[in-house]
Every structure is written in structure tokens, then in C-alpha cells.
């Protein structure tokens, strides 16, 4: 099968619209992941054993469950319980919650990597607990884990095609639909791969630069 340049130019606008949904789901899901992940990490350190263990087992369950069953549960099962969510919203929430369990471990490692002397100095200064976390511990911990958090953004972008199972018209879903209508899959699928490469490679380079700048030595 020869490459059809005219068909490629005709299908490109639809693919770019699909890419917009892909980027929207990735970026909004990432905001949820990095925010909720920090919440999980802090709750894991709470003195309340019940809360800490409940969060631990909940995050372990989510992390050990494949993303596709979670997408099906949020989009198809929750409506049976009276909670109906649009496909894109369901995809964003599921991506965010799923990856928050990974970012939680990243934050936990960053907090554990803060030198013990910092904790002791904060205690010696009799700082309020809120100031210890906001002014001393978290700024150092987050700085240490910025490169790893950036890697998860790229991973979420590459997992976004899974949203097609709940009918989100993201990039890959759009390519499948175009191919099904024209019975030509070569052009749309190849262009999907190229678009992912064009975004993932610069993002990876940017993360490497962040790693060089912020990595703790």
C-alpha cells in the first residue's frame, strides 16, 4: 500500500483535534496526580495508624490494578450507582488517581531523603508543625523529585491512548475511526506515532535538563 499524501492532509486536522483531547487529559490528570499524590504521602506519615494504613492499602490496591479496569469501573459501573461522568472527565479523574499512587511514592522517597539534621533544626527552633512542612521539608523534598515527577508526565501521555476504551475521542481513537471509515490505517496510525514522538522526545529532553539542574548530589 502506497502512502497517500492527499488523504494524510485531509485527516491531519481531525488528528490534531484528537491530540488536543489527549493533551487535555494528560495535563489535567497530571495536576490531579501530583496534588493527590502529595496528600497520600502526607497521610501515610500521620500519627493516626488507622488513617495511615487505610491510605497505604488503598494506594497499593490502585497501583496494583491495571488502568483499563479502573477506566471501565469509573465510566460504566459508577453510573449504575447513580454517579454518571462524561468520558473525558472519567478519563482525567482515573488517570490522575491512578498515577497519584505512583507520585505518592515519589514524594515519600523525597521526604525520607531530607537530611535528619533539617528535622532536628526545625524542632530546636520550636517551629509550628505547619511551618516545618511548608517552609523546611517540602521545598527540599519536592526539589529532589522534580525529575521523577516529570517522567510520570511523559508516562501519562503515553498511556492516554487507553482512554479509547471509554470512547474518549483522543488521538488514537480518532485515527481508528478515520481508518475504519476509509479502510486506510497506514496514514492515520503512522501519523499518530509521529505526533507522539514529536511531543515525547522534546519532553524527555526537558526532563533530562531538569534532572541535571535539580538532582541532589
CA dihedral over 181, 187, 190, 196, signed as positive or negative: negative
pLDDT of residue 217: 46
Across the chain, mean pLDDT equals: 89
5-214 has which fold?
MetI-like fold (1.10.3720)
pLDDT of 120 above 90: no
pLDDT of 144 above 90: no
From 32, 27, 54, select the one nearest 43 (Cα to Cα): 54
| Whole-number Å distance between alpha carbons of 94 and 181 | 30
Report, as an integer, the average pLDDT of 92-121: 89
Q: What is the pLDDT of residues 31-51, one digit of tens each?
A: 999 999 999 999 998 889 999
* Percent of the chain predicted with pLDDT > 70: 98
C-alpha cell at 143: 526539589
pLDDT of residue 214: 67
- DSSP one-letter string for 136-177: IIHHHHHHHHHHHHHHHHHHHHHHGGGGGGGT---HHHHHHH
DSSP state for residue 65 in the 8-state scheme = S
| Whole-number Å distance between alpha carbons of 4 and 8 | 6
What residues does each domain of the chain span? 5-214
Q: What is the pLDDT of residues 64-95, one digit of tens each?
A: 999 999 999 999 999 889 888 999 999 999 99
Number of Cβ within 10 Å of residue 158's Cβ equals 12
From 194, 104, 206, 191, select the one nearest 154 (Cα to Cα): 206
CB 104 within 8 A of CB 141: no
pLDDT of residue 112: 84
pLDDT of 213 above 80: no
Amino acid at each position: 500500500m502506497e502512502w497517500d499524501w492527499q488523504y494524510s492532509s485531509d485527516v491531519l486536522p481531525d488528528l490534531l483535534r484528537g491530540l488536543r483531547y489527549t493533551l487535555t487529559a494528560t495535563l489535567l490528570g497530571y495536576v490531579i496526580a501530583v496534588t493527590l499524590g502529595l496528600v497520600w504521602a502526607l497521610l501515610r506519615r500521620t500519627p493516626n495508624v488507622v488513617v495511615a494504613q487505610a491510605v497505604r492499602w488503598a494506594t497499593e490496591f490502585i497501583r496494583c490494578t491495571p488502568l483499563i479496569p479502573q477506566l471501565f469501573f469509573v465510566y460504566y459501573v459508577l453510573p449504575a450507582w447513580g454517579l454518571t461522568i462524561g468520558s473525558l472527565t472519567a478519563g482525567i479523574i482515573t488517570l490522575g488517581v491512578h498515577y497519584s499512587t505512583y507520585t505518592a511514592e515519589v514524594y515519600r522517597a523525597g521526604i525520607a531523603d531530607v537530611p535528619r539534621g533539617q528535622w532536628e533544626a526545625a524542632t530546636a527552633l520550636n517551629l509550628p508543625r505547619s511551618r516545618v512542612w511548608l517552609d523546611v521539608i517540602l521545598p527540599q523534598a519536592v526539589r529532589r523529585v522534580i525529575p521523577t515527577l516529570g517522567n510520570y508526565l511523559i508516562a501519562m501521555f503515553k498511556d492516554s491512548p487507553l482512554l479509547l476504551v471509554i470512547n474518549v475521542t483522543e488521538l488514537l481513537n480518532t485515527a481508528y475511526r478515520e481508518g475504519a471509515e476509509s479502510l486506510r490505517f497506514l496514514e492515520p496510525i503512522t501519523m499518530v506515532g509521529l505526533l507522539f514522538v514529536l511531543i515525547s522526545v522534546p519532553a524527555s529532553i526537558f526532563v533530562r535538563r531538569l534532572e541535571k539542574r535539580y538532582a541532589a548530589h
